[in-house]
Amino acid sequence: MQANESLKNLKKRALYYLAKREYSFKELIQKILKYAYEIGLSEKECFVVVEELKEKNFQSDERFCESYINSKKNKFGSQRISFDLQQKGVDQYLIDTFISELKIHEDKIASLVWSKKYNSPPANKNEESKQIRFMQSRGFSFEVIKKIIR
């Protein structure tokens, strides 16, 4: 297969993934990398293809960040979502921008998450520890957890 043809196929694959959902820049490169190796291309070509898609606004970390937060905000706290976005290669400034809106309603979200799992305040220290661990695993700060559990 010619190099030009291979690049077209790689671009088609990337667009196929983006048509299904938003991907971060880093995530999309990782997603198409295996296919690139199969057709004889390197990570450098993946970077070039994704960069081109970004310039044409097919790939956007801003849209990805907004989409990801909207899909996770009713289950997880800002700490967990922020960590997940970092792992997906999203810029910290972008994360802070979108997470700041989420933190405004975090008490309400934490209350809903807690009430879905537990129907009463903890009866003893052991139960309280269990509930705190659950809420921490969902990415809520200790200050928010204390407000909800007591």
Domain ranges in the chain are 3-59, 62-104, 106-149
Give 88-102 pLDDT, tens digit per residue.
999 999 999 999 988
CA dist., res. 118 & res. 142, Å (int): 17
3-class DSSP assignment, residue 88: coil
Indicate whether 3 pLDDT > 60: yes
Pick the CATH number of 3-59 from 3.40.1350, 2.60.120, 1.10.10, 1.10.20: 1.10.10
pTM: 0.87
User: H helices then E strands: how many in the chain?
Assistant: 9, 0
3-class DSSP assignment, residue 43: helix
Question: Which phi and psi (to 5°) does residue 54 adopt?
Answer: -65, -45
pLDDT above 70 as % of the chain = 98
CA dist., res. 5 & res. 12, Å (int): 11
